[in-house]
Amino acid sequence: MTRTLVLGGTHFVGHAIVDAARARGHDVTTLTRGASGSPPPGVTARHADRTDPAALATALGDDRWDLVVDTWSGAPRVVRDSARLLSGRVGHYAYVSSRSVHEWPLPIGADESAPVVDADADSDDSQDYSAAKRGAELAVLRDFDGPALLARAGLILGPREDVGRLPWWLRRMAAGGPVPCPGPRDRPLQYIDARDLAAWLLDASARGVTGAYNTVSRPGHTTIGELLDLCREATGSRADLVWVTPEDVAAAGVQPWTELPIWLPPSGEYAGLHAADASAAYAAGLACRPVAQTVQDTWSWMRDVGETPVRPDRPAPGMSPDAEARLLARA
């Protein structure tokens, strides 16, 4: 039986990894602070503040695992400490990184060889997300004595999303009325369902896959038009989708990505964020489910839990009524 350690396992991506590992029959251990929920039954839960190396060492003891999956998004030195502690005790280290490690702006069609930001594996700074993720990559590569996999995810969607991008659109469609929607309708989108990311991490690690991979769907896996149509359909809404142009969005002073979650204009500095070359990950076994399944499953989860969680370290996404009115006035 494969013994898997998940560093973080009660939130969005971590929870998906735990579920996927259990479905494969793994003996799963999670390491969390224990402050935000418990893992599913049958999972061994250990608790420690990872920023405290002594507490981490005490919680993990001298156990050994076949695989560790690390979801950390803060200061790189925390990943450094984990990589050092687990060297010689874990067969494979998988780190959930981000395409944000690349220099800005991202070129259209960029693969894993695109230039990355300067970063320090020993840094205690968590404010610069790009440098933190790249620093953590460097820490894994330098301080873990064994094979390592770096999953450079892009936009992550699916049930349990705690940033709130897809949940915002679903709630807005459910509310009905005229909904300003950023076009063009055929604007390609690129993302990954957290469950597909989890499945690939576990399966690729089991095969001994190493190195960095753009772990996202192919460009155009869906479009903004299809996504928002599916949101309306899933919620049973009669919302009126009012399409506006990228020029209208800019003129109205409404911000892509934050006020208009998921969407980015098709030209300019943001264009490359939905246009990565993901061929290497697909060649290494990545498979992405249809967008309709991601949308419907996210809505089903939202109805089950009622109030959906939102990360306190991220601004809440979505438009205010005033921003909507400015866009609708330009339609």
DSSP codes of every residue in 28-90: EEEEE-SSS--PPTTPEEEE--TT-HHHHHHHHTT--EEEEEE---S-HHHHHHHHHHHTTTE
Mean pLDDT for all residues in the chain: 96
What pLDDT does 308 receive? 77
Confidence of residue 331 (pLDDT cuts 50, 70, 90): confident
Provide the CATH topology of domain 3-153.
Rossmann fold (3.40.50)
pLDDT score, position 296: 98
Q: Which residues contact 206 (CB under 8 A, 6 or more apart)?
A: 2, 67
pLDDT band at 9 (very low <50, low <70, confident <90, very high): confident
Does the pTM exceed 0.85? yes
Predicted confidence at residue 192, as pLDDT, reads 98
- For the chain, the structural domain boundaries read 3-153, 162-189+221-272+292-328
Q: What is the pLDDT of residues 57-92, one digit of tens each?
A: 999 999 999 999 999 999 999 999 999 999 999 999
Q: Can you tell me the mean pLDDT for 6-22? A: 93
Residue 5: per-residue pLDDT: 98
- Domain 162-189+221-272+292-328 grouped into CATH 3.30.70: no
Q: Model confidence at 24, in pLDDT bands (50, 70, 90)?
A: very high
Length in residues, the chain: 331
Whole-angstrom distance, CA of residue 189 vs CA of residue 275: 8
Closest residue by Cα to residue 260 from 278, 277, 248, 275: 248
pLDDT digits (tens, 9 = 90+) for 88-138: 999 999 999 999 999 999 999 999 999 999 999 999 999 999 999 999 999
pLDDT at 38: 73
Percent of the chain residues topping a pLDDT of 90: 92
SS3 176: coil
Q: What is the pLDDT of residues 188-229, one digit of tens each?
A: 999 999 999 999 999 999 999 999 999 999 999 999 999 999
pLDDT (average), residues 281-285: 98
Q: Is the pLDDT reported for residue 311 higher than 80?
A: no
- Exposed / middle / buried, residue 186 (Cβ in 10 Å: 0-12, 13-18, 19+): exposed
Please report the pLDDT score of residue 67 as a whole number. 98
- Please report where in the chains the tokens 């894994």 appear, as a residue: 140
Mean pLDDT for the stretch of residues 23-36 = 91
